Amino acid sequence: MTTMSAYEIAESVRDQKVTATSVIERSISNANALNPKLNAFLAIDREGALEAAERIDSIIAKGGSPGRLAGVPIALKDNMCKVGLPTTCGSKILEGWNPPYDATVTKLLQSEGAIIVGKTNLDEFAMGSSTENSAFGPTLNPVDLTRVPGGSSGGSASSVAAGIVPIALGSDTGGSIRQPASLCGVVGVKPTYGRVSRYGLVAFASSLDQIGPFTSSVMDSAITLEVISGFDPKDSTSYDQEVGSLSAQRGLSIEGLRVGIVTEFIDGSDPEVVGALRDAAEGLARLGAEVVEISIPETKLGLSAYYLIAPAEASSNLARFDGVRFGLRVEGSNIEETNVLTRTKGFGAEVKRRIMLGTYALSSGYYDAYYAKAQQVRTLIKSGFEQAYQRVDVLISPVSPTTAFKIGERSLDPLAMYLSDVCTIPSNLAGHPAMSVPYALDSQGLPIGVQVLAPALREDLMFRLAFALEESASGVPTLDPSIKEAIIHG
């Protein structure tokens, strides 16, 4: 884990106790030392990051204000655009593509003095739950190198858990921030849909995608979300409301806060995962929260609805990869053959599986039976949450039914893999915020996260409970011995 939080790094850089340059040099040295073991990064930008660090140091030397995240090294999931770095989405079809523009989140981070050190590995086009679907090889979990880091944002989770960076951004379409955060033992936040601009995020499922942070502490996540949130005219789904001071929620009492345990998410979860959740609930009760069990039966339909809606939207979004405008091009005798050859070579098996499923669901004669029905179920799920929030203020549940599983254990069984996201998908369908807070370890020393869910635009309540959970957390994971040995300490 990182020895300094992002908050502490920025404070030390501003106070000239350390230089941004020295912080970035150490981060990049660790990235280079650990990446051969983890495969967390697809690109490391030593030259660009050091140039940015020198600019921060110069601003401070002249008495200027470098920003809230001054000198903090940050990694971006490789489906977010940054000028000067390739954006591959973990796919051969975009290998080597350099975007001509920055994502809005990239600009917002840099405007506050953060420094992008590289791009992280992911399941191809964010389609997966283990980061084994990347065209550039799997990412490993720094707690145990024989296990997956979760997905699809596994590279971002792994890079924070290993202490390479204190903050990394991921995208969450059905749990792709929260599930890897839980499996790697870090904090992971999916904000309310529309809270963070998606401009410059390569789309998977446009009505579900949302960008959020991975960090080693709840405070760092709060600060990061404050920085990247806000209205963006370049994103038509962007919500025009201030997120407020999430960091101010630390230390606030949770006495009288009504907390519901979602019983549907307990069913089928590993006993140790459920045990950690029960322990967390007891801790919250001791702090004065009113904890009750609550049923939201509609959430049981989440997985089936998601695997119609998300592939349908993906089949539309990925139609742009035709071998004509950008990315890979495999020449055929005509444009149709070129399209077929390009996509056959460029897309991996899981992406092809979802494109075909989505195209089928949208096809004539099946649209009403599948896609339209799934959207009706989505409305039911949202209604179920709304009814629950009339009884309680926030919800808690497992993040993943299990702790990190072995590399290759589920790669040949798509259904078993999809079930990894059964607790996280409903929040995406509803558009509500949710986050994973590292809480305990199982009997093998693997991390277990607790999921905190809140109504739309109530990140303040979510973070208040998350801070309380962090205070009572009972276990910090130990890094794999070979990762410990390779870390370069400052």
Number of Cβ within 10 Å of residue 481's Cβ equals 9
User: What span, in angstroms and rounded, lies between the C-alpha atoms of 264 and 268?
Assistant: 9
Give the tokens for residue 325: 């405008």
What is the pLDDT at residue 411? 87
Asked if residue 438 lies in contact with residue 478, where contact means CB atoms within 8 angstroms, the answer is no
Same domain, 17 and 125: yes
Contact 132, 88 (CB under 8 A): no
Active site residue ranges = 77, 152, 176
**Considering the domain boundaries, does residue 290 fall inside one?**
no
| Bridge pairing between strands 211-215 and 187-190 | antiparallel
Tell whether 22 and 130 lie within a shared domain: yes
Clarify whether residues 131 and 79 are in a common domain.
Answer: yes
- In a shared domain, residues 352 and 445: no
Q: Are 61 and 178 in a shared domain?
A: yes
129 and 69 housed in the same domain = yes
Q: What is the structure's pLDDT at 490?
A: 58
Question: Does a structural domain hold residue 72?
Answer: yes
Residue 21 lies in a domain: yes
Closest alpha carbon to 167 in 230, 95, 110, 251: 110
Indicate whether 118 and 222 sit together in one domain: yes
Domain end position, chosen among 308, 342, 375: 375
Number of domains composing the chain: 2
Residue 361 lies in a domain: yes
Does 281 reside within a domain?
A: no
Residue 2: the pLDDT is 42
Mark whether 206 and 350 lie in a shared domain: no
The reply to whether 399 falls in a domain is: no
325 and 207 assigned to the same domain: no
- Asked whether the bond before 152 is cis by omega within 30 degrees of 0, the reply is yes
Residue at which a domain ends, from 325, 342, 375: 375
The pLDDT value recorded for residue 122 is: 98
Q: Give the E-state strand segments of 216-312 in sequence order.
A: 258-262, 290-294
**pLDDT at res. 213:** 98
Residue 159 and residue 65 share a domain = yes
C-alpha torsion angle, residues 436, 288, 224, 15 (rounded to 10): -130
Q: Are residues 62 and 159 in the same domain?
A: yes
Q: What pLDDT was estimated at residue 1?
A: 39
- pLDDT of res. 326: 84
Range of the domain at 221: 6-257+433-486
CATH number reported for the structural domain that contains residue 220 in this entry: 3.90.1300.10
- Tell whether 354 is covered by a domain: yes
Q: Is residue 188 part of a domain?
A: yes
Per-residue pLDDT tens listing for the chain (490 residues): 346 999 999 999 999 999 999 999 999 999 999 999 999 999 999 999 999 999 999 999 999 999 999 999 999 999 999 999 999 999 999 998 999 999 999 999 999 999 999 999 999 999 999 999 999 999 999 999 999 999 999 999 999 999 999 999 999 999 999 999 999 999 999 999 999 999 999 999 999 999 999 999 999 999 999 999 999 999 999 999 999 999 999 999 999 999 999 999 999 999 999 999 999 999 999 999 999 999 999 999 999 999 999 999 999 999 999 888 888 999 999 988 998 899 999 999 999 999 999 999 999 889 999 999 999 999 999 999 999 999 999 999 999 999 999 999 998 888 889 999 999 999 999 999 999 999 999 999 999 999 999 999 999 999 999 999 999 998 789 999 999 999 877 5
Mark which of 375, 391, 419 sits at the end of a domain: 375
Would residue 244 be called left, alpha or beta, if left means φ above 0 and alpha means ψ between -120 and 50 degrees? left
The answer to whether the CB of 180 falls within 8 A of the CB of 131 is yes
Indicate whether 24 and 125 sit together in one domain: yes
